[in-house]
Amino acid sequence: MEILNKLYRHSLTLLTDLYELTMAYGYWKLGMADKEVAFHLTFRQNPFKGGYAVACGLSQVIDYLQNFRFDDEDIAYLGTIPGNDGRPIFDNAFLQYLKGLTLTFNLDALPEGTVVFPQEPLVRVTGPLLQCQILESALLNMINFQTLVATKAARICLAAEGDPVMEFGLRRAQGIDGGVSASRAAFVGGCSGTSNVLAGKLYDIPVKGTHAHSWVMVFDDELQAFRDYAKAMPNNCIFLVDTYDTLQGVRHAVAAAKELREAGHEMVGIRIDSGDLAYLSTEAQKILEEAGFGDKSIVGSSDLDEHVIHSIKVQDAPISSWGVGTRLATAYDDPALGGVYKLTAVRNKDGRWDYKVKLSEQLIKVTTPGVLQVRRYRRNSDFKADAIYDVQLGVEEPCTIVDPLNPTRLIRVTAGTPHEDLLIPIFNGGRLIYDVPSSREARQRCLDQLERLHPAIRRLLNPHEYPAGIEMRLHDLRTDLIRAAREAAGK
């Protein structure tokens, strides 16, 4: 753990938006800082027009929260932020309160690698209002991006149909942490390794890589470049063959591979990084087979994503592994998950939860009140349906699930259907009580979860909609709250 400290070597507590702190100041001044509340982190629609998302980022959240503190430099900086009158917006007593703040919240979350669907909470935070509020921006930053990349990786790996997929996106990623976090999220989503050495070190991810076009270009001819690379690194030879002429490059790779074999080593394979990968890999395979290297790997790269890989696979191209960079690390074509962190309940003086709902002209943006949990029902080992329910109301059996965007669409689950509740305790009273899985364990969970989804939900285009929604009694409560709020607002 403490990866963030190793990466940045400084307090990250100010990784937040100013309005989180101005609200915290207001709560403190009004004596509301310790009012008990519930917040939930959810997203509204599946990314990439897909049928699911893969939860990721919890490990970094845990790391961040374990190191949460306002140090002297943080406090000094906050004291310099001016209001519109030029005077500091925070008084010194509040800053000293922040300096001595000890977190006492509770946090429940989906384990990394869990498949999740719109409106379902990935994280639930309960506890003192001020504490829960100031965590918002950081949690969204970490969970949104990593969930997005893990989902993209899962889609790419499914398109590859079991072929290894390497993440090569560091040079195109959005900054240092964009690269490191993307490498880990891609691994959790199913990639077999990364080219990012720092991510490999920090997160125990297999690292792979050989040479670039520049290696070939620095020599007088391509064959000599391959020969010298083989001499320099005989146990790591994947030759990049498309610097000048791809098929001639394959022939040069074969010549170098024969000499390598005579020296007691074996070429791993070749990589094609441009052109018509289906055609070129097919022709390259013929050359390799004729020379006695038909069992060697052909790696395909070059602006790949799940759709390109799928189109190459249906042409029966002999590519056996894939290097995916830009479109994976940047979650190309859907740049943000759109996750939100919303207040859903406030504890009253009697100890019960008062439900809160946020309205909108758009139904998709209306929140679900309560202290929420997700119950996943199973048919044998496969996932059958998900019910979002309130822990105070519980779940009736048989369970009726209502689609939040189409209340006429109901899903009924018979009594006694096997199930599990997905949100599990991570922090209790500010103390970590969760045995954090390794990146490899999170990756295996993702692979296992995807196997339990119906293939129609996993497909890339026009996937079937997984049955997920709000438990009937919670839906009725939500409807009543919406109606009352609209009436109170004069609508």
Position 198 scores a pLDDT of 96
Segment 429-438 long-range contacts (CB within 8 Å, at least 24 positions apart): 429/104, 429/105, 429/106, 430/102, 430/103, 430/104, 430/105, 430/127, 432/62, 432/65, 432/66, 434/62, 436/1, 436/59, 436/62, 437/59, 437/111, 437/112, 438/204
Position 26 scores a pLDDT of 98
Per-residue pLDDT tens over the stretch 221-231: 999 999 999 99
Q: How far apart are CA 261 and CA 404, in angstroms?
A: 63
Position 305 scores a pLDDT of 97
Q: Identical fold at 3-149+335-488 and 150-329? A: no
Q: How far apart are CA 65 and CA 427, in angstroms?
A: 9
Residue at 262: amino acid letter: E
Per-residue pLDDT tens over the stretch 314-365: 999 999 999 999 999 999 999 899 999 999 999 999 999 999 999 988 888 9
CATH superfamily for 150-329 is Aldolase class I (3.20.20.70)
Would you identify the CATH topology of the domain 3-149+335-488? nicotinate phosphoribosyltransferase (3.20.140)
DSSP for 50-97, please give it. Answer: -S-EE---HHHHHHHHHT----HHHHHHHTT-B-TTSSBSS-HHHHHH
Q: Which stretches of the chain drop beneath a pLDDT of 50? A: none
List Cα–Cα distances, 264 to 178, 260, 306, in angstroms: 41, 7, 38
List Cα–Cα distances, 393 to 389, 410, 476, in angstroms: 8, 19, 11
- The set of residues, in sequence order, having a beta carbon less than 8 Å from that of 142 and lying 6+ positions away, is 57, 60, 61, 64, 181
Pairing of strands 399-403, 468-471: antiparallel
Position 491 scores a pLDDT of 53
> How do the domains of the chain map onto residue ranges?
3-149+335-488, 150-329
Position 220 scores a pLDDT of 95
Q: 321 and 165 in contact (C-beta within 8 Å)?
A: yes
pTM for this predicted structure: 0.96
Position 51 scores a pLDDT of 98
Per-residue pLDDT tens over the stretch 284-300: 999 999 999 999 999 99
Position 73 scores a pLDDT of 93
Position 9 scores a pLDDT of 67
Helix (H/G/I), strand (E/B), else coil: 420? strand
